Structure 1
Amino acid sequence: MNTTLIDPRTGRVRGTSPVARESEVRSAVDAARAALPGWRGLTPRERSRRLERLAALVEDNARAYVEREAAGTGKPDSETAGEVEQVADLFRFYASAVRAQQAPAAGRLVDGHESWVRWEPLGVVGVVVPWNYPLMMAAWRCAPALASGNTVVAKPAETTPDTLELLAEHAAEALGPGVLTAVPGDRRTGRLLVGADVDMVAFTGSAAAGADVAARAAGRRVSLELGGNAPALVLPDAPDDTWAQLARACTYNAGQSCAAPARVITLRENYEETVERLAAAARDCLAGRDFGPLNNPDQLARYDGLVKASAAGRSIAADIAPRPGEENGFWRPARILADLPDDDPAVVEEVFGPLLTVQRADDLGAALALADGVPQALAASVWTRDLTTGLELAGRLDAGETWLNCHLVQTAELPHGGRGASGHGTDLSTLALHEYQRPKTVTARLIPRS
């Protein structure tokens, strides 16, 4: 059984991909289970060396990764090349981090006894990743899981299997057979993996799918990253480049990023200026020239439905500039929606496209209430020259990651994770290692010498 793959830049068929079912999923999980003793038995130094080799293979084959990522997502090379570079860096980061873990207090904590804590891998981890960052989201999940001594079976999104399959090929070469396996397929494939003999599930996707995953996991550990609807608080003294920065962040990956700015919130005194300057900045961002298309027909229909359902008084759209032969791709322009109710569908739902809504508030307290007034709580930003006010607001926002005078600035060293409807768990940083480990306390009674 195969699924048809569509090039989102053209709307045309670009090939097919196999769809894994019970036997294929079971074989992959069995292989991961068989590889687990050897992989977890390696010293951190040896696992680190093998992960370094995998990072080198990603770098050596960067062009192939870029081409595959572009075919599945439609992203321009300027985006995919940077993401491939980040993936190699992430494997290198966790290759080093696993050798420098900090354990809880150890020593003679009870009189006559010596105690310490061992961090042990969970076992086989099932990873399910989305189509917006097919390679990078896989690395966010797989790198810390592998570094911690787990083996991984990963399922890519149905529309973007290309780069994860290549990563699994290189992992077999660098890490050994069965340590990281890819099982391409559809939603049923993902459900089969969640229900298989895995010890943990790491899922990145929609809130509805995340709830289904948690139910099917049946008590096993689950790490969920379920999307966002990020507010950007723009104060009257915002830096001059605020609008250009927000427009670029909103259109990166066609806005198909869980942490992308989505809801601009201003005070009444700078509302009109914000709408005008955001609209001008958005017009400088052209789909086809500066950013790619939406990923698939379902996302296209969902995006169009939310725009159509919006009661915005003003809908300001930029142009699109597809290349010859790409006119029928899934292109949508950068768009600003203003003069809309606070319960507008484009406000309360994650649009996941190159769109910013603009809302106004009477004061900072009301602005914070609007920012925290949706179920998602993944990311947020504040824009002001007043460092004291900016840091205070960043601290008060209900979000797992906040920025001041920037947005979407991330690095392997800093944790990323959500709250509320955005899920729970930690990606990136050394903290992510503990997502895929469990502590064991060992206490030994010291027997006096006779």
Structure 2
Amino acid sequence: MPEVPVPDTTLIDPRTGRARGSRPAARAPQVTAAVAAARRALPDWRALTPKERSRRLHRLATLIEEHADAYAERERAGTGKPAHEAAGEVEQMADLFRFYAGAVRAQPAPAAGALVAGHESWVRWEPLGVIGVVVPWNYPLMMAAWRCAPALAAGNTVVAKPAETTPDALELLAEHAREALGEGVLTALPGDRETGRLLVAGEVDMVAFTGSAGAGAEVAARAGTRRVSLELGGNSPVVVLPDAPEDTWAQLAAATTYNAGQSCAVPARVITLRANYASALAGLGAAMRERVAGRDFGPLNNADQAARYDRIVASSAAKVTVSGDTAPGAGEDGGYWRPATVLADLPDDDPAVLEEVFGPLLTVQAAESVEAAVALANGVPQALAASVWTRDLPTGLALAARLDAGETWLNCHLVQTAELPHGGRGASGHGTDLSALALHEYQRPKTVTARLLMAPPPSLT
């Protein structure tokens, strides 16, 4: 058969909107070869003791730290993030590999012992095999670490497809993984949506996908009976009571504009009581004006996302719109820069309320009561993250418990660490990222029971 030509994907710098290079988009032969390499590497990798896998993962983390500048440069090229954001995410990625290098050596086990008379039973946690990972463009490094680190620590091999617009950083991670972990243990497979479809439908044992709800539904359908872990975005409510801390607005503005708002767990919908609606709008507007595109946060990632963002904002029925500034020089050469924005006085069924906007934007709604605020907060299909802001700790904790979200914060937002699990509900998907619990996403338990053949002890009577 003639060799199938591999199309090139043009890479765009989101800061300028101009081409910065290209990558071949893998097709069936390349996908098949990558999965086959992972399959060949699997027996030796899974046979390693947790101690040895841990040692190699620590070596990978060291390589990441030693080449932190190169990782940050690649991250910025694909996303346009400010230098401080990219550097911080490289540090977090290395920390995640170190966390799972330790966690795999300390896994708790289910009960074992003589659970049936005359028998001894125990449980083995076994890797699933070859994991197909699909990584989004908003956090090319951190999302790769969230998925790949626990999968590798658990004894699996991984074929990871980066987003079409941001292959650079994951390619470097795969190079260092080859050095630290071995050939075929972690492979990067650059490409487009068709590449992702081929990987999901390929000979992998599990698919871990992070992306949009629509794409997640397609992934689940293509995966069939295989295990799937889906993190599918959010539309986070932020319930602000009249006694909220003084720094609430500054905290929310900073969280909303981090990564230009392109985060599944970012604050999205501010819900106040009628009594503090006007003051909330004033405080939030002032805080968002302080966040400057090009200084405090970067551009949107790509032309499609910018067009989608503009469509949602243009179709909103908001009567009040507050916009921040763009730093001098940012956007003069093009690019997908959008200012920090607040939309208020809008109906509950407004597109900016119901859809995940994925940009530096907050909506503000007023509720007539706490009950109504909870109903608004839980009134969208997504259920990934939420926050409550009040000085009254018992009230805040009680309210946080009523919000339907996989992760809830009180008087903070986007505070995450490797030790705490993160996962969605409803249209936000299912499965667990982060924490030791994520190891079990990529493992299956096997119960082993042995009949004891030894003679019974002599009677004492």
1:384 aligns with 2:390: yes
Q: Does 1:188 align with 2:183?
A: no
1:337 aligned residue (337, 340, 343): 343
Indicate the residue corresponding to 2:150 in structure 1.
Answer: 144
Equivalent AA in structure 2 for residue 347 of structure 1: V
1:115/1:322 CA distance change after superposition, 3 Å: farther
Choose from 383, 395, 406 the match for 1:400: 406
**For residue 105 of structure 1, what is the amino acid of its counterpart?**
A
- Correspondence for 1:448 among 447, 450, 454: 454
Aligned to 2:170, what secondary structure does the other structure show?
helix
Q: CA deviation at 1:11?
A: 1.1
Give the alignment of 1:326-365 within 5 angstroms. Answer: 326-365=332-371
Does the 8 Å contact 2:241/2:276 carry over to 1? yes
**Equivalent of residue 422 in structure 1, options 412, 417, 428:** 428
Query: What is the number of residues matched between the two proteins?
Result: 450
Equivalent in 201, 204, 215 of residue 198 of structure 1: 204
The residue aligned with 1:172 is 178
SS in 2 for 1:108: coil
> Aligned match of 1:88 in 84, 94, 107?
94
Give the corresponding residue for 1:207: 213
In structure 1, the residue corresponding to 2:291 is in which secondary structure?
coil
Partner of 2:52: 46
- Select 2:168's aligned residue among 148, 162, 169: 162
- Does residue 6 (structure 1) correspond to residue 9 (structure 2)? The answer is no
- 2:4 matched to which residue of 1? none
Summarize deviations over 1:202-223 as a string: whole Å, max 9, x none. 0000000000000000110000
Do the aligned partners of 2:15 and 2:330 also contact (CA within 8 Å) in 1? no
Q: Which residue of 2 aligns with 1:57?
A: 63
Residue identity matched to 1:17: R
Q: Which residue of 1 aligns with 2:27?
A: 21
Give the whole-Å Cα distance in 1 for the aligned partners of 2:43 and 2:258.
Answer: 41
Letter in 1 for 2:268: A
TM-score of the two chains, using structure 1 as the length reference: 0.99
SS in 2 for 1:49: helix
CA RMSD of aligned residues (A): 0.8
Identical aligned residues as a percent: 78
Unaligned runs of 5+ in 2: 1-6, 457-461
CA shift at 1:94, angstroms? Answer: 0.1
* CA drift at 1:326: 4.7
Letter in 1 for 2:274: R
Q: Partners in 2 of 1:211 and 1:324 — Cα distance? A: 37
Q: Which amino acid aligns with 2:42?
A: L
Equivalent AA in structure 1 for residue 446 of structure 2: K
Q: Is the 8 A contact 2:135 2:144 kept in 1?
A: yes
CA distance in 1, matches of 2:24, 2:248: 45
Instruction: Give the deviation of 1:319 after TM superposition.
Output: 1.1
Offset of 1:448 from its aligned partner? 2.2
Matched residue type, 1:162: D
Aligned partner letter, 2:39? R
Q: 1:181 is paired with a residue of what secondary structure?
A: strand
| 2:226 is the alignment partner of 1:220 | yes
Moved more, 348-357 or 9-18: 9-18
Match of 1:125 among 114, 131, 138: 131
**Alpha-carbon distance, 1:12 to partner:** 1.1
Distance 1:133 1:325 in 2: 22
Matched, 1:373 2:379: yes
Where does residue 459 of structure 2 map in the other structure? none
SS at match of 2:388: strand
Residues 289 and 322, structure 1, Cα contact 8 Å, conserved in 2: no
Which of 433, 444, 453 lines up with 1:438 in the alignment? 444
C-alpha distance after superposition, 1:322-349 (max 9, x if no partner): 5367541110000000000000000000
CA–CA distance in 2 between the matches of 1:431 and 1:17? 35
Task: Say if 2:253 and 2:288, in contact at 8 Å, map to a contact too.
Answer: yes
Secondary structure of 1:333's partner?
Answer: coil
Partner of 2:3: none
One-letter amino acid of the structure 2 residue matched with residue 285 of structure 1: R
Alpha-carbon distance in structure 1 between the residues aligned to 2:333 and 2:284? 26
Shift of 1:321: 1.1
Contact 1:132 1:257 in 2 (8 A): yes
1:226-237 counterparts in 2 under 5 A? 226-237=232-243
Structure 1 unaligned residues grouped into runs of 5+: none
- 1:293 aligns with 299
Q: By how many angstroms is 1:131 displaced?
A: 0.2
What is the SS of the residue equivalent to 1:16? strand
Which residue identity does 1:50 align to in structure 2?
A: R
